[in-house]
Structure 1
């Protein structure tokens, strides 16, 4: 493993520095029209080259090549990102730099998306619709100044489409996909339909409406489905069936420097759980009559966003957003009668809800001198959450309760300046102060540097301090009985983090028309007062509690290389991450080893366009190296100890072929996901490599195939 790691790093560094020393350049003005425009973390939209931040852009074309069903399918192929899936509820969440989804913030048009346990964090990636996306922007590292709490490992901003080149744009799509080797048009596989209509009334008014349905019929595997009548544990599904419905609409008005839009999104999801236990009805007049106690989880999310952008006093730029979001999760319990295939005794109740009123705004362009710019901004969050005993058992003011209702608020102000000493050298300092209703007031700070060296070499550096606030479960969980003792902690304090990044990028344009882009980045991060669920006592019963005890350090070196020539486009990247985590169990007089543990990721993709056939061939591959961490456990004598847990390496490959007909009005895409047929990855514990039964990490349901048909009608 060490040999391969050294070889990958050596090759990457060779490619990087070879490119950085390359001098055979064409006039870079030829590429000015191809400059990607980014908005995340900027004072106003600007070209990627001028951004002080190192922004990674995923275009609409990238998403189309993958024929992705949700955000998880897209991110699964990118460096420094790991996707965690669950067959029991179908959720997918993101992990970056070894830290979970609570440290990574997901936004839609700069507004954080509400989730079960937070705002912008712990987002279920399967619940993020891709039909309305213009592009995705990712910034790694601390973004606490511009995006507030929990933007520790980075932010992902989804930019939705708000304009059209044509007076009318009508798009309709149907997609059929197998689930492993299972498929039928109604009760097996995945079935997706969506439609969108956009209209420019005139040069000022724009309207769009759309909707989609994603029906996942579940994965049977070795199970027999909901109508299986034997009581042998085979009833139900290995991956639960679920249906998702999405509706959205946008109204926008633009005139000169003034822009305003209102956007609405609805998301609905039903997840069905079918109990493997079959119960006979005793003394029923008919023989062989059976039922089961089943349940259904129902989610509804409503998203409203009003944004206005323009000028004040003919100079100042303002950008203000106001958002209202509400998400409810209901549980519906019922008896499923197997012979008649009918439901009885249905009882539905809300067990979890989150409602957020959010607003953010900024002023910029204070000076006529374009070498200096200043941004003043605010963020206001009013978050109200409700959980009842179905979601868990909670403790409020040290008292065990069946439900908890809490309101969390924060009111932030932030400022940043961008100083362009020359066309080549820019500096961007910033600071944020956050007034918290639950915790002590917090602050974040950052400093960004950008310098353009000769031959078009772009260098960027950044350092930042950020914070993460404890979530609902960490504060209020209380699960204590004769066999369990797991408690939250209302005295938790926010975690604090520091991150440092240095990146170098160069694009080379050859006389032959070939283009080469190279990017090398080094990142270091440490997190203090990290919250973990820790073992606090061994006897008479193992007890766990959330506490601020960990210290987390991470360093990462990553490099990407992209080559384009005529109809070929190739990309390869690698990332090596080292993680050190110190866990101090003072109550048990035990401290973990804090040595760095390393993991390697390699990704690549290759595409070839055949203009004569209007056909594009694409293939994606990502290798995820072995991951290790120390965890608390007990030995055979019942004494507390730390053991090394290892998750084995695995690879993930997707491929597709897309062909256009009738002047691009009709598209057909066929392809396969998870060509390597990965389902789960072995998890071992201890230096002896003992496999822990039932603890494998579930990643997918195996190889699947899809067919996607898209119809585009554009006219003026």
Structure 2
């Protein structure tokens, strides 16, 4: 199938190139906002013609135009302006940069996740949050977690045994969150979303977040929502070289350039000409660990559950992208590779030996995209992806008496787990009329795995057809019904997954969105076939698991409260309710209580409210609000309904501020989030009655400064985790998972860190 798809794409590309060489006159240029940002998603047309185009992420465009004098019409969604241009026959014309009168925040932001094509956020049926390139740059992040950490509804947990983190979104764990890289699912070896922090942050253009089930469009895992990480594409320049170097302490621990602390280096090169573009980049992220045990520490000291330390991590990341595009056809290929090493050194044993474990991850993501606009009513989109993921565990024993190092022979101490996944998704967008558009599609997924802890070499094939429509039955009302039909080779998938979304324009400044979705999550290969037995673990997969299913409802009311010259205020009030069935959780094996396995439990629910406000005033941008998220108490299904509330609630208060100091050519960024305590109810062996337990509250704040030195260099500096959060109090008395323990504290961070970085940027038009 891969060869056939590639042959079709090459054939189509050849046709389009041939068409492009038959004397078409192209008009090219770049459009900037009044504050110098790329104006993305603007609609361009040639007056008195049917030629239409859109500016890309860098504000660049390419549109066909007749020879002679023409008028280029630029529509920003806020205003419209025309520019006269004179074009010679059979000679492409490059325009000087065009600046529109609106600032970047005054434009209607454009989103792509879940849409038929690039669409303004105001017109999107789904409620979409977007984190822009500017915000990402000002946060000086080293990974995705540092960006999402202060976004409302997100919470991260850390597994210090394995050295990885997991994300929670709107009260649901990471296995219910779909992570996409340019619309292609990111594969992980387990239900932890560790791949989220294996993406080169230097390649990220922006992040789009859709809350609520997106199973009709994106299939399994998209119960809580979708995080779509969109990478950088064409730059708008013929040649660009960028480089970045950033040094950061880990708490009060730091060694220059290497060793303790966090050290980040990146270089990337971009080129484009006559529709062709290419990019290559390389990054190295090194984390020296934090609070590491002394080399003379004993195994008893290192193994003390009250002793918290973070493991060293080293990442090498490379990426390439090559593509061709014109007004009607666009094709590009991208590859991302990461090599990650996590080192876990034990203490000295009584026989003067030391055990060291090394976890090595090698991940290669491949993706091929093609978009073909046949006419102003019909377009085709095809996406192909292939991921190869390997996780290697190497355990060595060093004997001080003999000064020799050898491999250990215990269960699971030498292991290579291999995972691969292939995807093809094709969709057709057809505009029947100004009031009805349809999008049928087909998706094929294949997942495979092998390893010492995985029974056999299992493969899961998943086939789906789906369709949705966008209908405007009345002025101010937009409906988006959809359905997905599924056939799976292993588990009992739901036959059909429906959804219905609506957007109602109550008036020009007030929009109401309503949605219902049936979500599902397929059991992962690891959940079905993973067996792990050693001195500390007795875990067995369950091949009889059923898919998780959910009914989800959401609503949001967006009010453009104030829109005046230099001042803008938008507010969104949102609510959601999710009811899950056949939720997959760890439990006791029916035939042996000493063995842990995975089972389908009956019910789980989440619900919540949020208020999100965005204020822009001259050089000040502020995003602030609150959320209140409730998680279902499982004990209410037992005999404790009257003693335990149905939901336990956690509040959040958040604020993100950016202030641009024009005279100093710099800006200040403040990101703040206070997360309240997280209550739940438990039973213990010593007390048969439900007990209220809590994970403590915390406040996370980042304060960063960004200064343009000259046209090539930018300096950033600041403080992350200003209030020095390291551990959260925990009154739980029960185990929370295979690598966690109840009571004591919950590790959250390695403390306050200080940042200093320098970025280089050179462009050639």
Give the match for residue 283 of structure 1. Answer: none
| Mapped partners of 1:345, 1:112: distance in 2 | 36
Aligned ranges for residues 36-185 of structure 1 at < 5 Å?
36-117=109-190, 122-185=193-256
Give the match for residue 418 of structure 2. Answer: 353
Aligned to 1:125, what secondary structure does the other structure show?
helix
1:230/1:79 CA distance change after superposition, 3 Å = closer
Is the contact made by 1:679 and 1:700 (CA closer than 8 Å) also made in structure 2? yes
| Mapped partners of 1:644, 1:132: distance in 2 | 44
Is the contact made by 2:440 and 2:466 (CA closer than 8 Å) also made in structure 1? yes
| 1:228 aligns to 2:296 (yes or no) | yes
Deviation at 1:49, TM superposition (A): 1.3
Give the match for residue 686 of structure 2. Answer: 635
Deviation at 1:685, TM superposition (A): 3.3
Is the contact made by 1:457 and 1:506 (CA closer than 8 Å) also made in structure 2? yes
Q: Which string of whole-angstrom CA distances, capped at 9 and with x for unpartnered residues, describes residues 262-319 of structure 1?
A: 1011011011111112465xxxxxxxxx542212111100111111100347842110
Deviation at 1:89, TM superposition (A): 2.8
Q: Which string of whole-angstrom CA distances, capped at 9 and with x for unpartnered residues, describes residues 239-279 of structure 1?
A: 11110010000001002210000101101101111111246
| Mapped partners of 1:578, 1:572: distance in 2 | 20
Give the match for residue 509 of structure 2. Answer: 456
| Mapped partners of 1:577, 1:153: distance in 2 | 13
Is the contact made by 1:634 and 1:641 (CA closer than 8 Å) also made in structure 2? no
Aligned ranges for residues 401-440 of structure 1 at < 5 Å?
403-440=455-492
Q: Which string of whole-angstrom CA distances, capped at 9 and with x for unpartnered residues, describes residues 526-552 of structure 1?
A: 111212223578x99666442222311
| Mapped partners of 1:584, 1:566: distance in 2 | 51
Deviation at 1:91, TM superposition (A): 1.2
Aligned to 1:707, what secondary structure does the other structure show?
strand
1:456/1:631 CA distance change after superposition, 3 Å = same
Is the contact made by 2:467 and 2:483 (CA closer than 8 Å) also made in structure 1? yes
Deviation at 1:505, TM superposition (A): 1.0
1:568/1:362 CA distance change after superposition, 3 Å = same
1:707/1:630 CA distance change after superposition, 3 Å = same
Deviation at 1:622, TM superposition (A): 0.5
Deviation at 1:339, TM superposition (A): 9.8
Give the match for residue 375 of structure 1. Answer: 439
Give the match for residue 568 of structure 1. Answer: 620
Structure 1 stretch displaced more, 52-61 or 290-299? 290-299
Aligned ranges for residues 297-308 of structure 1 at < 5 Å?
297-308=359-370
| 1:651 aligns to 2:699 (yes or no) | yes
| 1:386 aligns to 2:450 (yes or no) | yes
Of residues 393, 396, 405 in structure 2, which corresponds to 1:334?
Answer: 396
1:497/1:643 CA distance change after superposition, 3 Å = same
1:163/1:341 CA distance change after superposition, 3 Å = farther
Structure 1 stretch displaced more, 254-263 or 312-321? 312-321
Q: Which string of whole-angstrom CA distances, capped at 9 and with x for unpartnered residues, describes residues 155-200 of structure 1?
A: 0111111211111111000010101000012221111100111011
Aligned to 1:49, what secondary structure does the other structure show?
coil
Considering Cα pairs closer than 8 Å and 6+ residues apart, tell me whether 1 or 2 has the greater RCO.
1
- The alignment of Structure 1 onto Structure 2 pairs a total of residues equal to 651
| Mapped partners of 2:417, 2:382: distance in 1 | 30
| 1:603 aligns to 2:654 (yes or no) | yes
Aligned ranges for residues 569-584 of structure 1 at < 5 Å?
569-582=621-634
Aligned to 1:384, what secondary structure does the other structure show?
strand
| Mapped partners of 2:593, 2:180: distance in 1 | 42
Deviation at 1:373, TM superposition (A): 0.4
Deviation at 1:452, TM superposition (A): 1.5
Aligned to 2:134, what secondary structure does the other structure show?
helix
Aligned to 1:61, what secondary structure does the other structure show?
helix
Of residues 199, 203, 207 in structure 1, which corresponds to 2:274?
Answer: 203
Is the contact made by 1:337 and 1:343 (CA closer than 8 Å) also made in structure 2? yes
1:193/1:423 CA distance change after superposition, 3 Å = farther
Deviation at 1:695, TM superposition (A): 4.4
Deviation at 1:451, TM superposition (A): 1.6
Is the contact made by 1:375 and 1:417 (CA closer than 8 Å) also made in structure 2? yes
Structure 2 unpaired stretches of 5+: 1-76, 80-100, 735-740
Give the match for residue 729 of structure 2. Answer: 682
Is the contact made by 1:93 and 1:124 (CA closer than 8 Å) also made in structure 2? no
Structure 1 unpaired stretches of 5+: 1-26, 281-289, 395-402
Deviation at 1:126, TM superposition (A): 2.0
Aligned ranges for residues 514-593 of structure 1 at < 5 Å?
514-534=567-587, 544-582=596-634, 593=644
| Mapped partners of 2:593, 2:129: distance in 1 | 48
Give the match for residue 24 of structure 1. Answer: none
Give the match for residue 357 of structure 2. Answer: 295
Give the match for residue 673 of structure 2. Answer: 622
| 1:254 aligns to 2:319 (yes or no) | no
Q: Which string of whole-angstrom CA distances, capped at 9 and with x for unpartnered residues, describes residues 584-631 of structure 1?
A: 899xx9989462211111111222211111111111110111112234
1:433/1:364 CA distance change after superposition, 3 Å = same
Give the match for residue 316 of structure 1. Answer: 378
Is the contact made by 1:626 and 1:648 (CA closer than 8 Å) also made in structure 2? yes
Give the match for residue 4 of structure 1. Answer: none
Give the match for residue 493 of structure 1. Answer: 546
Structure 1 stretch displaced more, 509-518 or 207-216? 509-518
1:339/1:238 CA distance change after superposition, 3 Å = farther
Deviation at 1:474, TM superposition (A): 3.4
Deviation at 1:50, TM superposition (A): 1.2
Deviation at 1:86, TM superposition (A): 2.7
Q: Which string of whole-angstrom CA distances, capped at 9 and with x for unpartnered residues, describes residues 182-225 of structure 1?
A: 0012221111100111011x23100000010001111125x22x
Deviation at 1:557, TM superposition (A): 0.8
Deviation at 1:683, TM superposition (A): 1.1
| Mapped partners of 2:462, 2:164: distance in 1 | 28
Is the contact made by 2:319 and 2:337 (CA closer than 8 Å) also made in structure 1? yes
1:366/1:518 CA distance change after superposition, 3 Å = closer
| Mapped partners of 1:78, 1:336: distance in 2 | 44
Give the match for residue 364 of structure 1. Answer: 429
| Mapped partners of 2:456, 2:214: distance in 1 | 31
Of residues 183, 191, 199 in structure 1, which corresponds to 2:263?
Answer: 191
| Mapped partners of 1:470, 1:594: distance in 2 | 30
Is the contact made by 1:334 and 1:345 (CA closer than 8 Å) also made in structure 2? yes
Aligned to 2:250, what secondary structure does the other structure show?
coil
Structure 1 stretch displaced more, 455-464 or 500-509? 500-509
1:143/1:164 CA distance change after superposition, 3 Å = same
Deviation at 1:352, TM superposition (A): 1.0
Deviation at 1:232, TM superposition (A): 6.7
| Mapped partners of 2:298, 2:515: distance in 1 | 61
Give the match for residue 9 of structure 1. Answer: none
Structure 1 stretch displaced more, 603-612 or 98-107? 603-612
Aligned to 2:339, what secondary structure does the other structure show?
strand
Deviation at 1:358, TM superposition (A): 0.9
Is the contact made by 1:483 and 1:541 (CA closer than 8 Å) also made in structure 2? no
Give the match for residue 95 of structure 2. Answer: none
Give the match for residue 275 of structure 1. Answer: 346
Deviation at 1:74, TM superposition (A): 0.7
TM-score, normalised via structure 1 length? 0.85
Is the contact made by 2:408 and 2:414 (CA closer than 8 Å) also made in structure 1? no
